[in-house]
């Protein structure tokens, strides 16, 4: 997905024609803050006056409608996140899945054959969030069939390994795998 400064936000996006395949790579929960990381580049490209708007629309720091996420994994992990007693983390968790589900709800009807989604099972604190499982369950509730989930181990992009994450003090364990969820139409 790309946030174009012209205002294209995947939450407002509707496919304007039928397609065979939808492939997307949404953010991996709060693993990256894209707008903050690329502030300078965006300013150089002439979008400096729109940074606030872009940041406000960025998943999962945005404010999506409270659509229903049809997934037991979502509810199970949400309960674990809720027990952390950290309001902002729970908001991020909900905003993330509501955003993705809202986009899929709005667009899956125009997809004829395959929906493919790249995601990594990122962590919130020490809770691993099975993003692809949540999306699989939700798409199944919309009538899609799970074809396969391809798993790639991320090794090449790690520059160094530390025992503890200096920011959180927790055991350092970056997203170890990247998953490609492939769903097909029943």
Ligand X SMILES: C[S@@+](CC[C@H](N)C(=O)[O-])C[C@H]1O[C@@H](n2cnc3c(N)ncnc32)[C@H](O)[C@@H]1O
Which residue from 30, 42, 47, 58 is in contact with ligand X, where contact means CB under 6 A? Answer: 58
* Residue 168 within binding range of ligand X, rule CB under 6 A: no
Of residues 143 and 176, the one with the C-beta less far from ligand X: 176
Classified as helix, coil or strand, 57 is helix
* Residue 3 within binding range of ligand X, rule CB under 6 A: yes
C-beta of residue 57 within 8 angstroms of C-beta of residue 12: no
Residue 17 Cα distances to 6, 14, 110, 112, angstroms = 21, 9, 7, 11
Closest approach of Cβ 163 to ligand X, in Å?
Answer: 27
Give the contacts of 6 (CB within 8 A, at least 6 positions apart): none
Q: Binding segment for ligand X among 56-64, 74-82, 167-175, 177-185 (CB under 6 A)?
A: 56-64
Q: Is 57 exposed, middle or buried (0-12, 13-18, 19+ CB in 10 A)?
A: buried
Q: Binding segment for ligand X among 55-63, 90-98, 137-145, 147-155 (CB under 6 A)?
A: 55-63
Tell me which residues touch ligand X (CB under 6 A).
1-3, 9-11, 25-27, 34, 57-59, 62
């Amino acid at each position: 997905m790309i946030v174009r400064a012209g205002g294209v936000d995947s939450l407002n996006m509707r496919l304007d024609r039928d397609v065979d395949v939808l492939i997307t790579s949404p953010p991996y929960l709060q693993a990256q803050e894209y707008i903050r990381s690329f502030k300078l580049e965006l300013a150089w490209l002439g979008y400096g006056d729109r940074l606030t708007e872009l940041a406000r629309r960025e998943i999962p720091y945005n404010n999506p409608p409270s659509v229903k996420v049809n997934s037991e994994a979502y509810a199970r992990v949400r309960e674990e996140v809720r027990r952390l007693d950290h309001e902002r983390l729970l908001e991020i968790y909900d905003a993330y899945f509501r955003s993705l589900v809202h986009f899929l709800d709005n667009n899956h009807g125009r997809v004829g054959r395959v929906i493919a989604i790249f995601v990594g099972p990122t962590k919130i604190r020490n809770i691993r969030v099975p993003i692809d499982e949540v999306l699989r369950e939700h798409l199944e509730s919309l009538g899609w069939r799970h074809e396969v989930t391809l798993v790639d181990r991320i090794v090449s992009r790690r520059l160094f390994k530390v025992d503890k994450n200096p920011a959180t003090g927790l055991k350092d364990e970056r997203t170890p795998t990247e998953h490609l969820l492939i769903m097909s139409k029943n």
